[in-house]
Chain A
């Protein structure tokens, strides 16, 4: 039998005996090509960089990636079981800006296999859910309390030929019915599309392809592509608190649109056909909007249409 005692100290065998090494310093005489190249790259960066520290986007990205690692629940019954599956999903934003043609922004969510589809649906944050419908130029103080998320609760997922509709509330409708009827009306080659309830299924019940685009649709026409990038067994170092899942680990940073006047505050109003504004549409923060469009008594000045505006960067 081999001498295991020797191997116990094998990690020490791999490291240098010199304990005072600083991992930030690349050794001068290294034979490794990786280090030579890295050294040049770092030196070049030193030459041009003005301030060498993590910008806030990087700090945010790192925090998001690592904030849930290793967490344990207070209550042992909330602990994730061994053998649980962990899925990594990329959920793409519905925006279609010109600059996003090649590289669509997305958020990354980790979800457990034993979780229901509705749990994922609830955790997806989309700016269209916060929209307030309606024109409010005549009564700017009466912005309604209901956001779109409360009004239009229907949503569905589409995985492998089956539509999983959210039917938890009486207001929810089967949005997929239109598609299914269309597909059945002629032989369109889509096979048999089915519609089932989202709340009855967990991820473990599904057959999924990795890297294949699926769909999430809510608000009637707000569509998000979903791609599953990884499925693996849960690991000791992962977050083991069931209540924290689904957990968001990556998000695209969207710049917020600022008020046209002060350029400081995020826009909360958008106007169309505004005789007082230089462009159409024009964005204003609350203060500037009222100062420009209403007099001291609150009377509407000039002609315009005003809508409450929710910026996509609100989730930053």
Chain B
């Protein structure tokens, strides 16, 4: 069964507060429960099939704290927690609490302890659960399921290592565009050679759009822009996600790398394009890029499709692409780019440090 994210933290928080209250009275637990409005943990627009799974998993998480080696107070808290969750669940018929054969003597002893120490409220709660038939008496504590590990890791990665799926850019790369341009030029030249007028090809030979490479490049850039807009939306949504610093750095690094690769692709093809508009908009985009990089770039752009390749390899690839394009860029003597190269220069050492 898939995990219920955040549930363990919430349960531990509640049990921790109960422990600090330094009592085993149900009233106190109920107060803490009400404060947090814990019964809403089942809320949300979920259909019945998923709700069953969710509830089963919730009870399973809570049930862990009911058994040794947890302290007496935590175990009583877990008993109250199970009682609360069992009664406030939304499934019909109710999902049950699993009790394994090996744990039953232990639980029985626990109940006896409660009665002997005169914690009658806890004993009563337990008895109520038994009478309500809240338990499934099972051979093994956990219900087996056969989700392979691979799937688990993938979904974890998806949560935290959102990859900007630059599939368009990885297809229409620098090299591809360059090759296309070369072939296109060569083709134009050939047409001229066999035409009557050597300076331009015959009208009869115009079978393709002359500017198709430029159009292709523009389309790629438009896609890039759209992706960035989406990423911004996603970043805003993701700001409260718990991601460790290391991962932050890595994702920052990766987005930097891929961003730079695309930025450089754009710079490079400016020299092939006669469209002034493009260069202006590109420079404008350049500025945007920097600000989004230096800003809270914790999140990743959402991947449209599931990427099946292992994560580390992909990161390495993109960083390498960025590195390659950077070295090539340094060799290009174009005046306009000096501004950009400075900006790139500033961020380059930053990147090196992180490496």
**B26 and A10 form a contact (CB under 8 A):** yes
**A15 and B39 form a contact (CB under 8 A):** yes
**B5 and A37 form a contact (CB under 8 A):** yes
Q: Is A229 an interface residue (CB 8 A)?
A: yes
**B138 and A231 form a contact (CB under 8 A):** yes
**B39 and A14 form a contact (CB under 8 A):** yes
**B34 and A2 form a contact (CB under 8 A):** no
Chain B residue nearest in CB terms to A69: B93
Query: How far is B6's CA from A194's CA once the two chains are assembled, in angstroms?
Result: 51
| Interface 1/0 per residue, B29-47 and A, CB below 8 Å | 0100110111111111101
Q: Is B88 an interface residue (CB 8 A)?
A: yes
Chain B residue nearest in CB terms to A63: B49
- B233 nearest CB across to chain A (Å): 9
Q: Which residues of A contact B4 (CB under 8 A)?
A: 34
A-B contact number at CB 8 A: 144
**B41 and A54 form a contact (CB under 8 A):** no
Q: Which residues of B contact A31 (CB under 8 A)?
A: 36-37
Binds B, one of A156-164, A233-241, A302-310: A233-241
Q: Which residues of A contact B6 (CB under 8 A)?
A: 32-38
Residues of chain A in range 198-213 having any CB-CB distance to chain B below 8 Å: 210-211
Query: How far is B42's CA from A30's CA once the two chains are assembled, in angstroms?
Result: 12
Binds B, one of A21-29, A174-182, A215-223, A262-270: A21-29
Q: Is A141 an interface residue (CB 8 A)?
A: no
**A70 and B93 form a contact (CB under 8 A):** yes
**B121 and A7 form a contact (CB under 8 A):** yes
**A65 and B87 form a contact (CB under 8 A):** no
- A3 nearest CB across to chain B (Å): 9
**A65 and B52 form a contact (CB under 8 A):** yes
**A35 and B139 form a contact (CB under 8 A):** no
Interface size (B, Cβ < 8 Å)?
A: 54
Given the contacts A33-B6, A36-B240, A54 and B90 also touching, CB distance less than 8 Å = no
Chain A residue nearest in CB terms to B14: A32
**B139 and A14 form a contact (CB under 8 A):** no
Picked from B10, B42, B52, B128, the residue with its CB within 8 Å of the CB of A23 is B42
Chain B residue nearest in CB terms to A211: B144
Chain A residue nearest in CB terms to B99: A232
Q: Is A102 an interface residue (CB 8 A)?
A: yes
Residues of chain B in range 219-248 having any CB-CB distance to chain A below 8 Å: 237, 240
21 A-B contacts (beta carbon < 8 Å): A4-B124, A10-B125, A11-B87, A15-B88, A25-B43, A32-B10, A33-B7, A35-B40, A35-B41, A35-B43, A36-B240, A42-B45, A54-B49, A58-B47, A104-B146, A211-B144, A227-B146, A229-B144, A232-B137, A233-B137, A233-B138
6 additional A-B residue pairs with CB within 8 Å, beyond A7-B26, A102-B151, A227-B146: A21-B40, A34-B41, A38-B6, A229-B143, A230-B138, A231-B138
List the 7 closest A-B pairs by CB distance, nearest first: A33-B6, A2-B120, A34-B6, A232-B138, A229-B144, A231-B139, A62-B49
Using a CB–CB cutoff of 8 Å, the interface residues on chain B facing chain A are 4-7, 9-10, 26, 30, 33-34, 36-45, 47-49, 52, 83-84, 87-88, 90, 93-94, 96, 98, 120-121, 124-125, 128, 133, 136-140, 143-148, 150-151, 237, 240
